[in-house]
């Protein structure tokens, strides 16, 4: 694909519109990818892999042009082995489709990014994607066991194994989360999890944000690890409720959406204990989903929240900082002060249990002065995360957007180790150039997030 | 070694202080690996000193073997070069601990026992039962990615490491990851170092994810009779609502050893040991479920009191069995879960043919099978046995490594087995980190 109007479709991801590739290729097999890699090598062109383009850090956009490899034609589930709890898939398989394929047998694929209806396993592997249920079950890297990878020179290697403890270096663990800068994944073997016997979903409603944030560490301090522990503030809630009618209260300051899973007895006990902790922390009300439909509706509200916010603001910017969960009350206060300082509207909807923040800053890209303030606010928030001993990204990846923020948390020596690994697999730097590692051009700056483009 | 031993000792003493360099012959003998004795031992007190020692070794082409408490050093091919033992024991401080965040950062030399005591005061633990047990060090557990039977319920060190501080052979201290529970900034070099057996860099500090300890635990045993019954039980347990923390199939000799009645083992059969954790009600429910599964195949179920000591033996097989037998060979097969029983059956036949007394401990829920050959056997016939078993494991889609064996067996068989099509990439990785081959030369996969 090379016509201007076709290429336009691939100039953006969920971060923003950045740049068009020179050509888009749709491989059908590993062999195609090998051949395309060789073409890219021969012509010294950038080679960028892309799944569904739902990424939030610009990782799948060919920011320096070149060949974009789109995996929409490699979407076969190659093998499902329930007794071993494994599946072997091509990179274009949609995350949710894998779970659906094994649902009847009582299994699922645990990592569940909010974009799971569209995003692909290949993209998840590249970004080491998370989701609401990573609190108990871990992120993508904890569920990927083996990979087939095409290196930039066209060599194909197989890392890991479908069983545990293959001797040698854990290259699978290095490739997961490497954002397409080390190799192109053409096949992944992943772990399938057993569906729990019982699930209970609670909605704790608060009149003060600080009470909701205090509850988070209080729950884990009781020795309970919920399967999910999400927070939404009143502003986001109202937008979500208007869009989805999930039954969220319109007049509160914040809610916690808490899910416990496991053996029936454990779930009942944990739900009771969590309810007590919520009430000790001034929850106005604690509701329990009475049916699977009610539960689905609550989650639909949460997972479609970004879309709902798109209805009320022309643009928004989502930040992905992480802090220790005990610092949440302090951090939410800080975000409130940033909102005032820059005269912006900031919504908060995030994975509270992990301390993984997603402040959503509303803006209108046509207002350039406001857009500049958004950029400053986002930077202030990420700086505060770093000061608290946190990270610049919990699940969205470094990508194009944050590569110049890496020096905030990594020293030159730390980055040099990463460069060593990159140079080993991608010595010419033509594989997804300009991503993950600092470009050295604009140290400490966010890139691309506010360049325009629409909300998803 | 190109330098005179005395000048190496003097140079190292200048780097870390004379009291941190050991050169008494007796002390060095105790640090031997595969019977090879180092010229001296150095125990730096800070990460920077570790890095300085590494740089020195790199400049002078010395071979170094890092060690925490030495509990896993029998793993690896024959140590052909070994000049200096690098002990991490003095690095044992806590650098950050916030119980409510369920995270901790500790230096690599802290013993696992001390670590568990520390976090245990807050009702937390690192759910691992590694080889070496309480004696092993945090750094060593990570370097060996040492997981025991608790892997069934919690995964391995790989899943618990949030970040690492690493001393490199160019004399630097660098970090990877962080200390928050969710973090995707940069390459996950923590995964690379976990299980690298000290061959890339030296882990000097680790940030780890902690877990709340289950309020109660209970161990149940099921008499399995035949491997066929054991397989049916494994299937039904893994499909049941019970989520075991540990699940191990012990054969009749292993059962007898654990019960300390080696003479009576003919009468006992293989047993499945299942440990569950949770509240009192949860454990009662698990017992009901397991009883039902057991009675469906006519296998008696019993609750085992005081199982903790037996579990310690199972996770620490080499050390435990060495107290009872002079020469122990311990193999670990890692297999697809479905293949565990078939492999065991094969191993038993092979052992009978070679007249090898075999005790097996199989983590059947995760496909990890430990085989222990218990008496002195000629290395040549042991080597044949290992090679045939390795082939059997490979045919079933798995791998087989030697965890512990008499040193001379290592001249006959590779400890790790053959590498795959990613071996070249691994070699390049080694070269990128340690081009002078200072760290644990030749002991790892493919001669790395």
Q: What angle do CA A269, A275, A280 make, to 5 degrees?
A: 125
Q: DSSP characters for B142-174?
A: HHTT---TTHHHH--GGGTEEEEEEE-TTS-EE
Confidence category of residue A159, pLDDT binned at 50, 70, 90:
very high
Output A444 or B283, whichever has higher pLDDT.
B283
- Residue A277 token pair: 């902790």
Six token digits for residue B311: 């579990």
Does A326 contact B337 at a Cβ distance shorter than 8 Å?
A: no
Q: Which pLDDT score, from 0 to 100, does residue B262 have?
A: 44
Q: Which residues of B touch A141 (CB under 8 A)?
A: 188, 191
Please give the structure tokens belonging to residue A225.
């690890």
Which whole-number Å values give the CA distances from A366 to A318, A372, B400, in the listed order?
18, 11, 63
B145/A170 CB distance under 8 A: yes
Q: Which tokens belong to A418?
A: 């990463």
| Residue B345 vs residue A59, higher pLDDT | B345
User: For residues B227 and B30, what is the distance between their CA atoms, to the nearest angstrom?
Assistant: 42
Query: pLDDT per residue over A301-326, tens digit each?
Result: 888 887 888 888 888 888 899 999 99
Task: Provide the chain A residues 372-391 that lie in CB contact (below 8 A) with chain B.
Answer: 389-391
Q: What is the mean pLDDT of residues A340-367?
A: 93
Q: What percentage of chain A exceeds 70 in pLDDT?
A: 96
Q: Cβ contact (<8 Å) for B432 and A420?
A: yes
Q: Which of residues 282-311 of A touch B (CB under 8 A)?
A: none
Concatenated DSSP letters for A249-311?
Answer: -SS-SEEEEEEEEESHHHHHHHHHHHHHHHHHTTEEEEEE--SHHHHHHHHHHHHTHHHHHHT
Contact at CB, B174 and A163, closer than 8 angstroms = no
**Closest residue of chain A to B398, computed from CA coordinates:** A163
Predicted local distance difference test score (pLDDT) of residue B268: 63
Domain B5-89+435-447 grouped into CATH 3.90.230.10? no
Residues of B in contact with A176 (CB under 8 A): 188, 191
Residue A444 has pLDDT above 80, yes or no: no
What 3-state DSSP class applies to A189?
strand
Query: Do residue A173 and residue B401 have CB atoms under 8 angstroms apart?
Result: no
Q: CB of B210 within 8 Å of any CB in chain A?
A: no
For the stretch B258-272, pLDDT in tens is 876 444 444 567 899
Residues of chain A contacting B179 with CB distance shorter than 8 Å: 324, 389
Mean pLDDT of A341-356: 94
Question: Do the chains contact at B426 and A391, CB–CB below 8 Å?
Answer: no
Q: Categorize the per-residue pLDDT at A452 as very low, low, confident or very high, splitting at 50, 70 and 90.
A: very low
Q: What is the pLDDT of residues A45-88, one digit of tens each?
A: 999 999 988 888 888 888 899 999 999 999 999 999 999 999 99
Closest-CA residue in chain B for A416? B174
pLDDT (average), residues B392-420: 95
Comparing A432-441, B143-152, B185-194, which segment has the lowest mean pLDDT?
A432-441
Interface of B with A in 407-426 (CB under 8 A): 416-417, 419-426
What residues of A are in contact with residue B419 (Cβ under 8 Å)? 167-168
Q: What angle, 0 to 180 degrees and rounded to 10, lies between the N-to-C axes of helices A264-280 and A209-221?
A: 140
Confidence of residue A282 (pLDDT cuts 50, 70, 90): very high
- Minimal Cβ distance to A166: which of B100, B147, B399: B399
Which letter does DSSP use for residue B265 in this model? G
CB atoms A269 and B211 under 8 Å: no
B332 in contact with A, Cβ within 8 Å: yes
Q: What is the mean pLDDT of residues A237-260?
A: 91
Residues A144, A125: contact at Cβ < 8 Å?
yes
Instruction: Indicate the range of B165-174, B327-336, B380-389 predicted with least confidence.
Output: B380-389
Q: Is A419 on the interface with B (CB under 8 A)?
A: no
Phi, psi for residue B314 in degrees, rounded to 5 = -65, -35
Note the Cα B132 to chain centre separation in Å.
Answer: 7
Residues of B in contact with A221 (CB under 8 A): 99-100
Residue keyed to tokens 């802290």: B110
Q: Which helix (H) or strand (E) holds A173?
A: helix A171-175
Q: Strand, helix or coil at A192?
A: coil
Q: What is the torsion angle, in degrees rounded to the nearest 10, for the CA atoms of residue B426, residue B431, residue B432 and residue B434?
A: 120
- pLDDT category at A443 given cuts 50, 70, 90 is low
Residue A442 pLDDT grade (very low, low, confident, very high; cuts 50, 70, 90): low
pLDDT above 50: residue A455: no
**CB contact at 8 A, A116 and A96:** yes
Flag whether residue B120 sits within 8 Å of chain A, measured between CB atoms.
no
Mean pLDDT of B52-65: 97
User: Is A417 close to B156, i.e. CB distance below 8 A?
Assistant: no
Of the candidates A138, A221, A424, which has its C-beta nearest B100's C-beta? A221
Question: Which uninterrupted H or E stretch holds A341?
Answer: helix A328-341
Closest of A80, A43, A32, A38 to residue A65, by C-alpha: A43
SS3 A150: strand
| pLDDT above 70: residue B119 | yes
CA distance A77 to A97: 9
- B145 has a chain A CB within 8 A of its CB: yes
Closest C-alpha to A167, from B416, B6, B434: B416
Question: Per-residue confidence at A365, pLDDT binned at 50, 70, 90?
Answer: confident
Could you tell me if A82 lies within 8 Å of chain B, comparing CB atoms? Answer: no
CA distance A19 to A12: 7
Distances (CA, A) of B178 to A160, A178, A225, B104, B164: 24, 16, 21, 11, 7
> Chain B contact for A104, CB < 8 A?
no
Q: Taking the domains of chain A in order of start, what are their residue ranges?
A: 1-195+399-430, 198-306, 313-396
Identify the CATH number of the domain defined by range A313-396: 3.30.70.2740
Residues B195-239 have pLDDT tens digits of 999 999 999 999 999 999 999 999 999 999 899 999 999 999 999
Yes or no: say if B70 and B168 are a contact pair by the CB < 8 Å rule: no
Two tokens at A21?
A: 């590739």
Strands A67-70 and A47-50, bridge-based pairing:
parallel
Is residue B415 a contact partner of residue B144, using CB atoms and an 8 Å limit?
A: no
Phi, psi at residue B124, to the nearest 5°?
-115, 165
Give pLDDT, residue A11: 81
Same fold, A198-306 and A313-396: yes
- Which structure tokens are listed for A273? 């204990």
Tokens of B168: 């490199």
Query: What topology does CATH give the domain A198-306?
Result: Alpha-Beta Plaits (3.30.70)
A395 touching chain B per CB within 8 A = yes
The shortest C-alpha distance from A1 to chain B (Å) reads 32
Residues in chain A with CB shorter than 8 Å from the CB of B342 are none
Per-residue pLDDT of B227-243, as tens digits, reads 999 999 999 999 999 99
Instruction: Please tell me if residue A197 touches chain B, with a CB cutoff of 8 Å.
Output: yes
Say whether B101 and A325 touch across the interface (CB within 8 A): yes
Q: Which residues contact B102 (CB under 8 A, 6 or more apart)?
A: A220, B124, B181, B209, B210, B211, B212
pTM, two decimal places: 0.96
Global ipTM:
0.96
pLDDT digits (tens, 9 = 90+) for A89-128: 999 999 999 999 999 999 999 999 989 999 999 999 999 9
Tokens for A364? 């209108």
Tokens for B370, please give them.
């430990």
Distance CA A434, CA A449 (A): 15
Q: What is the DSSP string of B324-385?
A: H-S--EEEEEE--GGGHHHHHHHHHHHHHHHT--EEEEEETTTTEEEEEE-S---HHHHHHH
Residues of chain B with CATH 3.30.43.10: 5-89+435-447
On average, the pLDDT of chain A sits at: 92
Output the pLDDT for position A287: 94
**Residue in B186, B398, B429 nearest the CB of A406:** B186
DSSP assignment of A198-211: EEEEEEEEESSHHH
Q: In angstroms, what separates the C-alpha of A436 from chain B's closest C-alpha? A: 6
Helix and strand counts by DSSP (H, E) for chain B: 15, 19
Q: Poorest-confidence range of A3-7, B14-18, B24-28, B67-71?
A: A3-7
Chain B residues with beta carbon closer than 8 angstroms to that of A397: 184
pLDDT at A453 over 50: no
> The domain B216-411: what is its CATH number?
3.40.462.10
Question: What are the beta bridge partners of residue B52?
Answer: none
Question: If you classify domain A1-195+399-430 with CATH, what class do you get?
Answer: alpha beta
- Which residue spans of chain B are classified as CATH 3.40.462.10? 216-411
Return the structure tokens found at A248: 């969220």
Q: Cβ B184–A159 below 8 Å, yes or no?
A: no
Which SS3 state, helix, strand or coil, does residue B297 take? coil
What does the pLDDT read at residue B255? Answer: 86
B430: nearest CA in chain A? A169
Residue A243 reports pLDDT greater than 90: no
Of residues B267 and A406, more confidence is placed in: A406
pLDDT at B225: 86
- Lowest mean pLDDT of A428-442, B281-295, B306-320, name the range: A428-442
Closest Cα in chain B, distance from residue A409 (Å): 9
Question: Which pLDDT score, from 0 to 100, does residue A208 have?
Answer: 96
| pLDDT, mean over chain B | 93
Q: What is the pLDDT of residue A153?
A: 95
pLDDT of residue B265: 46
Measured CA to CA, the distance from residue A410 to residue A428 in angstroms comes to 23
Say what angle helices B227-239 and B280-296 make with each other, to 10 degrees.
Answer: 140
Q: What digits encode the pLDDT tens for the residues A222-235?
A: 989 999 999 999 99
pLDDT reading at A451 higher than 80: no
Per DSSP (E only), the strands in B267-315 are: 271-278, 301-304
Confidence of residue A448 (pLDDT cuts 50, 70, 90): low
CB contact under 8 A, B425 and A157: yes
Distance (Å, whole) CA B167 – CA B44: 12
Please state, in angstroms and rounded to a whole number, the distance separating the CA atoms of residues A49 and A449. Answer: 20
Tell me how far apart the alpha carbons of residues B97 and B105 are, in angstroms, rounded to a whole number.
6
Q: Tell me, what's the pLDDT at B260?
A: 60
Q: Chain B contacts of A158, Cβ < 8 Å?
A: 420-422
Q: Which residues contact A382 (CB under 8 A, 6 or more apart)?
A: A319, A321, A392, A405, A408, A446
B263/chain A closest Cα distance in angstroms: 34
Find chain B residues with C-beta within 8 A of A264's C-beta.
Answer: 241, 285
In whole angstroms, give the CA distance from residue B130 to residue B127. Answer: 10
To the nearest whole Å, the CA of B285 is away from the closest chain A CA by 8
Q: How confident is the model at residue A43 (pLDDT cuts 50, 70, 90)?
A: very high
Please give the helix or strand (H or E) that residue A87 lies within, else none. Answer: strand A86-89
- Judged against a pLDDT cut of 60, whether residue A355 lies above it is answered with yes
Longest dimension (CA), chain A: 65
How is residue A433 annotated by DSSP?
T
Measured CA to CA, the distance from residue B224 to residue B249 in angstroms comes to 9
Task: Lowest mean pLDDT of B346-350, B359-363, B378-382, name the range.
Answer: B378-382
Chain A positions touching B397 (Cβ under 8 A) are: 162-163
B94-212 folds as 3.30.465
Rounded CA separation A402/A127 (Å): 13
Lowest pLDDT segment from A89-103, A441-455, B241-255, B397-411 = A441-455
Q: Residues 160..199 of B with a Cβ closer than 8 Å to A: which?
A: 166, 168, 172-176, 178-192, 194-196
């Amino acid at each position: 694909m090379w016509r201007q109007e076709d290429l336009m479709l691939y100039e953006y991801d969920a971060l923003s519109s950045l740049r068009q590739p020179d050509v888009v290729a749709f491989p059908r097999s590993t062999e195609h990818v090998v051949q395309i890699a060789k073409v890219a090598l021969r012509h010294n062109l950038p080679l960028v892999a892309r799944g569904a383009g739902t990424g939030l850090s610009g990782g799948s956009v060919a920011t320096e042009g070149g060949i974009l490899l789109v995996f929409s034609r490699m979407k076969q589930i190659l093998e499902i082995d329930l007794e071993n709890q494994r599946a072997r898939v091509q990179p274009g398989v949609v995350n949710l489709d894998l779970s659906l394929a094994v649902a009847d047998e009582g299994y699922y694929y645990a990592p569940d990014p909010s974009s799971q209806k569209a995003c692909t396993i290949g993209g998840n592997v590249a970004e080491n994607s998370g989701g609401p249920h990573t609190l108990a079950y871990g992120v993508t890297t904890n569920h990927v066991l083996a990979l087939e990878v095409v290196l930039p020179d066209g060599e194909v290697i197989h890392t890991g194994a479908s069983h545990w403890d293959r001797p040698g270096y854990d290259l699978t663990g290095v490739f997961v989360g490497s954002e397409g800068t080390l190799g192109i994944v053409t096949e992944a073997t992943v772990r399938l999890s057993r569906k729990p016997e019982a699930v209970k979903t609670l909605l704790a409603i608060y009149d003060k944000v600080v009470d909701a944030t205090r509850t988070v560490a209080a729950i884990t301090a009781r020795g309970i690890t919920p399967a999910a522990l999400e927070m939404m503030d009143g502003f986001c809630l109202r937008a979500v409720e208007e869009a989805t009618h999930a039954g969220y209260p319109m007049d509160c300051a914040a809610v916690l959406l808490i899910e416990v899973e496991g053996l029936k007895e454990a779930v009942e006990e944990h739900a009771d204990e969590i309810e007590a902790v919520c009430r000790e922390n001034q929850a106005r009300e604690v509701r329990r989903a009475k049916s699977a439909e009610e539960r689905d509706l609550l989650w639909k509200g949460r997972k479609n929240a970004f879309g709902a916010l798109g209805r009320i603001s022309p643009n928004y910017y989502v930040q992905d900082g992480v802090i220790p969960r005990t610092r949440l009350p302090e951090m939410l206060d800080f975000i409130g002060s940033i909102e005032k300082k820059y005269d912006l509207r900031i919504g908060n909807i995030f994975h509270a249990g992990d301390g993984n923040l997603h402040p959503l800053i509303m803006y209108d890209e046509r207002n350039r002065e406001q857009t500049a303030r958004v950029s400053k606010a986002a930077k202030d928030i990420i700086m505060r995360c770093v000061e608290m001993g946190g990270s610049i990204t919990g699940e969205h990846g470094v990508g194009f957007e944050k590569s110049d923020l890496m020096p905030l948390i990594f020293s030159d020596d730390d980055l040099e180790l990463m460069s060593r690994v990159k140079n080993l697999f991608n010595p010419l730097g033509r594989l997804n150039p300009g991503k993950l590692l600092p470009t050295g051009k604009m140290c400490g700056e966010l890139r691309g997030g506010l360049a325009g483009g629409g909300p998803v | 070694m190109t330098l005179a031993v005395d000048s190496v000792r003097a140079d190292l003493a200048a780097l870390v202080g004379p009291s941190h360099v050991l050169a008494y012959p007796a002390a060095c003998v105790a640090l031997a690996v595969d019977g090879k004795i180092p010229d001296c031992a150095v125990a730096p007190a800070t990460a920077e000193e570790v890095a300085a020692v590494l740089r020195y070794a790199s400049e002078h082409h010395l071979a170094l073997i890092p060690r925490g408490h030495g509990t896993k050093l029998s793993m690896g091919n024959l140590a052909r070069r070994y000049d200096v033992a690098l002990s991490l024991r003095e690095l044992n401080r806590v650098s950050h601990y916030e119980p409510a965040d369920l995270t901790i950062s500790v230096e690599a030399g802290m013993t696992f026992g001390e670590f568990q005591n520390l976090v245990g005061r807050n009702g937390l633990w690192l759910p691992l039962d590694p080889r070496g047990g309480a004696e092993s060090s945090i750094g060593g557990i990570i370097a060996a990615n040492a997981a025991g039977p608790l892997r069934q319920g919690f995964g391995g060190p790989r899943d618990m490491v949030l970040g690492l501080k690493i001393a490199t052979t160019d004399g630097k201290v660098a970090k990877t990851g962080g200390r928050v529970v969710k973090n995707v900034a940069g390459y996950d070099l923590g995964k690379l170092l976990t299980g690298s057996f000290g061959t890339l860099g030296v882990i000097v500090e680790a940030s780890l994810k902690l877990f709340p300890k289950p309020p109660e635990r209970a161990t149940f045993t099921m008499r399995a009779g035949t491997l066929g019954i054991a397989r049916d039980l494994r299937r039904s347990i893994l499909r049941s609502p019970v989520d075991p923390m540990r699940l191990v199939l012990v054969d009749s000799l292993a059962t007898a050893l654990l019960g300390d009645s080696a003479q009576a083992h003919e009468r006992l059969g293989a047993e499945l040991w299942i440990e569950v954790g949770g509240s009192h009600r949860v454990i009662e429910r698990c017992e009901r479920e397991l009883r039902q599964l057991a009675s469906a195949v006519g296998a008696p179920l019993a609750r085992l009191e005081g199982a903790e000591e037996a579990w310690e033996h199972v996770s620490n097989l080499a050390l435990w069995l060495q107290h009872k037998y002079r020469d122990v060979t311990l193999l670990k097969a890692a297999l697809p879960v479905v293949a565990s029983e078939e492999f065991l059956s094969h191993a038993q036949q092979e052992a009978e043919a070679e007249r090898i007394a075999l005790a097996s401990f199989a983590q059947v829920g995760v496909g990890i099978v430990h085989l222990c050959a218990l008496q002195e056997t000629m290395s040549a016939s042991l080597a044949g046995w290992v090679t045939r078993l390795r082939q059997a494991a490979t045919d079933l889609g798995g791998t087989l490594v030697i965890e512990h064996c008499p040193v001379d067996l290592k001249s006959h068989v590779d400890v790790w087995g053959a590498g795959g099509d990613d071996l070249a990439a691994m070699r390049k990785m080694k070269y990128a980190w340690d081009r002078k081959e200072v760290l644990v030369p030749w002991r790892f996969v493919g001669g790395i």
